[in-house]
């Protein structure tokens, strides 16, 4: 009876152990599970044997106990794992084959006497046991057992000799357990005991195996986490226990960190010298004490980049390091960042080049304006003083040519302003009728000169008092009308002004210019508003132009939030239509626009100033410019002094109290600004002398610039006679 309890106890314990292991194992390790299953099955066989009533039952139970004959192979495999010895597959196959032969032998015991010559059922205190006379088959088993024991020892010995950091403790414990089991087996055979001791030894080795598993967390050996990554080409996976001991790694990990093959789980601590561990310690220490349970970083290893994630394993049982080869993406990213940088540099260079170009154009315009100022001024004097019709005719041509030159320079300047984003819309109150009249007065003689009919139709109900940039609208209309005149050989030009009420207090004006000119080809329409683009160059070879006019016009219209459209038929003519919305500032219609009064209409009589008491100092480093002012003002009665430099001006201002100074800006040595400041310091009374900037610096914002720097007024060169008189007359004492 006591023996039954004994066997039952062994069987129950084995089952409990099996469940315990299954419960603990999250990542099932086949080797471990098989080991415990075979132990339990074999012990169950021993229980059945003890309970069997007949010889036949006892023989069957005996066959079941032989499932334990697979344990040596499992122990060899476990040992080789702990020793980091990779057994060749043929060796494993051979071991399994030899054991299979053994299994066949044991299965044949009822039919042959190769394994047992004779068998009887014995009883010992009511417990059944087999009395056997061994045959040669049994000897085969004994030899196999000894061979397997030796092979296991060999594996351990090999690893001790060849490998570092072998799990000595684990391997020794396992080997001792194995040896005890084998010895018990042999002891039984020699002593012919009635009681089976093998189940006890199986229990012993199971307990030892369990201790090893728990201590080294081998039940978790990573067949789960790591094996997922085994087949994935770009992934490296390393699993560590909570003391940073290496638990498992995949093939890629060994390729990246060859030292992992040298480090073993049983090595008490990591090998500090290894690259892997110095890296891992660095990453894990980030999350070990910190609040974060995960770290994600791009880590360079050699010439590759790894997207590395370090995670704390569930229940803080250690860490998992996953590294994804992200080199391609990272390289592309770096390339992209580099490209962005290059692009930024290129953009900056282009912007600088554009700025330099705009500055160059502004400088050129300044330089060209100075001599034109002299030409225009002197030419005006010729026109005014000469009675010789031939000479005035020539002077007339000069006036025309300088006018064209000025408009060209203004176009270039406008273009540079637009490019630099500096073109401003300056809105003031103006009269539509006066604006239309001044445009028509300028354009109709040009049309007449080409024998073209010039018709103007203005809707009389349009409001007359508007608010907007009159000069820019004039510029738009003159550009379009000039083109109509230029590109029409015969026929007419029809200028129409119409409109319709926009929102409250505003009107949308519609200016259209129809001509019977050469028209534009469909394929050229796309280039119409491009800068420096001239169309139909074969036909237009003799027509002057730069290809800037429409580009500027379009940009000004856009800036005013208006619209510019073209309808054209090649060979027949074109209609350019501009729509612009303007605020209405007062009552009154355009009505009979040709005859309404306007302050805009300049008197045909040249204005002059009669103020001999007014002392004016004109400062310019260019003698010709001084001459121009002197001559322009020769009809007026004023006291003029001329200074050829800043220093000269200061000298003259010391001697005389002036009522007005006309001051050039750019002069060698002392420029206009400094000269003004020094003159003002000469005497407290000079603080309030009005200074008028007289400069060829006509870039946008110049007027504000000079007014902000202490000048009272601003006149750009070439000087327009009426403007000059108007400004001076403001300061007559
Ligand atoms: P351009 O200084 O050459 O006149 P624009 O920018 O004013 O430059 O015009 C660009 C081109 O558009 C011109 O060269 C011309 O070929 C075409 N163009 C402009 N207006 C007309 C028109 N009314 N009829 C026919 N072609 C025109």
User: How far apart (Å, rounded) are the C-alpha atoms in residues 432 and 300?
Assistant: 72
Least confident of 266-270, 375-379, 417-421, 665-669: 266-270
Across 49-57, average pLDDT: 88
H or E stretch covering 500: strand 492-501
Ligand 1 atom nearest residue 536's Cα:
16
- Section 164-188 average pLDDT: 77
Q: CATH class for domain 2-219?
A: mainly alpha
Question: Does ligand 1 lie within 6 Å of residue 598's CB atom?
Answer: no
Which residue, judged by its Cα, is nearest atom 19 of ligand 1? 483
**Which pLDDT score is estimated for 13?**
61
Binned at pLDDT 50, 70 and 90, residue 253 comes out as: confident
Pinpoint the residues of the chain covered by CATH 3.40.50.2300: 610-730
Please state which CATH class domain 610-730 belongs to.
alpha beta
Supply the pLDDT for residue 260. 72
Q: Answer whether 413 contacts ligand 1 (Cβ < 6 A).
A: no
Count of CB atoms within 10 A of residue 314's CB? 9
Helix or strand run (H / E) with residue 544: none
The CATH classification number of 226-325 equals 3.30.450.20
Q: Is 695 helix (H, G, I), strand (E, B) or coil?
A: strand
CA dihedral 19, 24, 25, 27 (to 10 degrees): 150
Nearest atom, ligand 1, residue 518 CA: 25
**In this structure, which residue's CA is closest to atom 11 in ligand 1?**
534
Q: Which of 51-65, 211-225, 387-401, 404-418 has the lowest mean pLDDT?
A: 211-225
Pocket probe mutation, ligand 1, options 550, 557, 574, max atoms within 8 Å of Cβ? 550
Give the pLDDT mean for 438-445: 87
Are 488 and 573 contacting, i.e. CB atoms less than 8 angstroms apart?
yes
Q: Enter the tokens of residue 158.
A: 């090999």
CA 284 – CA 243 distance, rounded (Å): 11
pLDDT in tens, 92-107: 889 888 988 888 888 8
- Enumerate the CATH 1.20.1070 domain ranges in the chain, comma separated: 2-219
Cα–Cα distances in Å, from 264 out to 164, 269, 284, 319?
Answer: 8, 9, 19, 16
Ligand 1 within 6 A of CB of 515 = yes
The tally of CA atoms less than 13 A away on the side-chain side of residue 136 is: 2
Distance 467 CA to ligand 1 centre (A): 30
In words, the CATH class of domain 425-584 is alpha beta
Task: Return the number of other C-beta atoms located less than 10 Å from residue 733's C-beta.
Answer: 8
**Token pair 């041509």 is at which residue?**
397
Mutational pocket test of ligand 1: of 405, 487, 490, 552, the residue with most ligand atoms within 8 Å of the beta carbon: 487
Model confidence at 340: pLDDT above 90: yes
Q: Is 487 in the pocket of ligand 1 (CB under 6 A)?
A: yes
Q: Is the confidence at residue 702, as pLDDT, over 50?
A: yes
Average pLDDT of the chain is 81
Structure-block tokens of residue 169: 């403790």
Kindly report, as residue ranges, where domains of CATH 3.30.450.20 are found in the chain: 226-325
Q: What is the pLDDT of residues 486-512, one digit of tens each?
A: 999 999 999 999 999 888 889 999 999
CATH 3.30.565.10 domain range(s) in the chain = 425-584
Query: What pLDDT, on the 0 to 100 scale, is given for residue 32?
Result: 72
- Residue 552 beta carbon below 6 angstroms from any ligand 1 atom: no
């Amino acid at each position: 009876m006591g023996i039954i309890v004994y066997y039952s106890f062994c069987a129950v314990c084995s089952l409990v152990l099996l469940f315990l292991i299954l419960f603990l194992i999250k990542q099932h390790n086949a080797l471990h599970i098989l080991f415990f299953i075979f132990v339990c099955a074999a012990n169950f066989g021993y229980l059945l044997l003890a309970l069997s009533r007949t010889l036949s039952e006892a023989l069957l139970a005996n066959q079941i106990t032989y499932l334990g004959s697979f344990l040596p192979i499992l122990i060899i495999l476990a040992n080789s794992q702990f020793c980091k010895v990779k057994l060749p597959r043929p060796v494993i196959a051979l071991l399994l084959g030899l054991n299979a032969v053994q299994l066949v032998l044991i299965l044949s015991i009822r039919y042959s006497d190769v394994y047992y010559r004779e068998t009887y059922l014995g009883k010992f205190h009511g417990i059944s046991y087999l009395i056997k006379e061994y045959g040669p088959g049994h000897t085969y088993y004994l030899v196999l057992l000894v061979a397997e024991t030796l092979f296991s020892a060999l594996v351990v010995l090999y690893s001790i000799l060849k490998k570092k950091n072998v799990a000595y403790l684990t391997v020794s414990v396992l080997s001792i357990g194995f040896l005890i089991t084998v010895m018990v087996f042999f002891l039984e055979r020699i002593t012919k005991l009635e009681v089976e001791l093998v189940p006890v030894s199986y229990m012993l080795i199971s307990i030892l195996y369990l201790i090893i598993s728990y201590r080294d967390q081998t039940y978790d050996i990573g067949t789960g986490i790591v094996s997922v990554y085994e087949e994935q080409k770009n992934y490296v996976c390393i699993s560590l226990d909570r003391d940073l001991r290496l638990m498992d790694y995949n093939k890629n990990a060994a390729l990246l960190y060859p030292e992992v093959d040298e480090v073993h789980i049983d090595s008490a601590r990591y090998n500090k010298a290894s690259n892997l561990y110095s890296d891992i310690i660095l990453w894990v220490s980030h999350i070990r004490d910190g609040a974060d349970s995960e770290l994600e970083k791009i880590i360079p290893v050699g010439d590759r980049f790894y997207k590395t994630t370090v995670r704390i394993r569930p229940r803080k049982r250690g860490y998992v390091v996953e590294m994804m080869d992200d080199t391609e993406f990272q390289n592309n990213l770096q390339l992209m960042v580099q490209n962005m940088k290059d692009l930024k540099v290129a953009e900056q260079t282009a912007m600088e080049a554009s700025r330099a170009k705009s500055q160059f154009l502004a400088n050129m315009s300044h330089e060209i304006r100075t001599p034109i100022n002299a030409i225009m001024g002197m030419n005006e004097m010729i026109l005014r003083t000469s009675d010789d019709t031939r000479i005035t005719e020539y002077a007339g041509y000069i006036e025309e040519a300088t006018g064209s030159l000025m408009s060209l320079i203004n176009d270039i300047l406008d273009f540079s302003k637009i490019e630099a984003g500096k073109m401003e819309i300056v809105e003031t109150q103006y009269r539509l009728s006066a604006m239309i009249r001044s445009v028509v007065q300028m354009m109709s003689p040009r049309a007449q000169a080409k024998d073209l009919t010039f018709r103007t139709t203005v809707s009389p109900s349009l409001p007359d008092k508007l608010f907007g940039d009159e000069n820019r609208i004039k510029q738009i209309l003159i550009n379009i009308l000039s083109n109509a005149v230029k590109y029409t050989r015969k026929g007419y030009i029809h200028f129409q002004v119409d409109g319709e009420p926009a929102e409250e207090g505003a009107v949308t004006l519609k200016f259209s210019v129809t001509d019977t000119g050469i028209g534009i080809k469909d394929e050229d329409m796309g280039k119409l508003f491009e800068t420096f683009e001239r169309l139909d160059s074969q036909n237009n070879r003799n027509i002057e132009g730069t290809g800037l006019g429409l580009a500027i016009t379009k940009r000004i219209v856009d800036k005013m939030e208006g619209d510019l459209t073209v309808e054209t038929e090649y060979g027949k003519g074109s209609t350019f239509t501009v729509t612009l919305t303007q605020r209405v500032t007062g009552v009154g219609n355009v009505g009979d626009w040709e005859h309404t009064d306007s302050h805009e209409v300049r008197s045909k009589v040249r204005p002059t100033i009669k103020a001999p008491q007014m002392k004016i100092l004109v400062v310019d480093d260019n003698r010709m410019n001084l001459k121009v002012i002197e001559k322009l003002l020769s009809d007026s009665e004023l006291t003029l002094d001329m200074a050829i430099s800043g220093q000269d001006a200061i000298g003259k201002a010391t001697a005389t109290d002036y009522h007005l100074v006309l001051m050039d800006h750019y002069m060698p040595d002392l420029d206009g600004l400094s000269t003004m400041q020094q003159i003002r310091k000469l005497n407290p009374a000079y603080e309030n002398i009005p200074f008028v900037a007289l400069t060829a610096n006509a870039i946008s914002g110049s007027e504000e610039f000079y007014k902000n720097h202490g000048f009272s007024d601003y006149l750009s060169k070439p000087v327009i006679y009426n403007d000059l008189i108007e400004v001076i007359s403001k300061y007559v004492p």
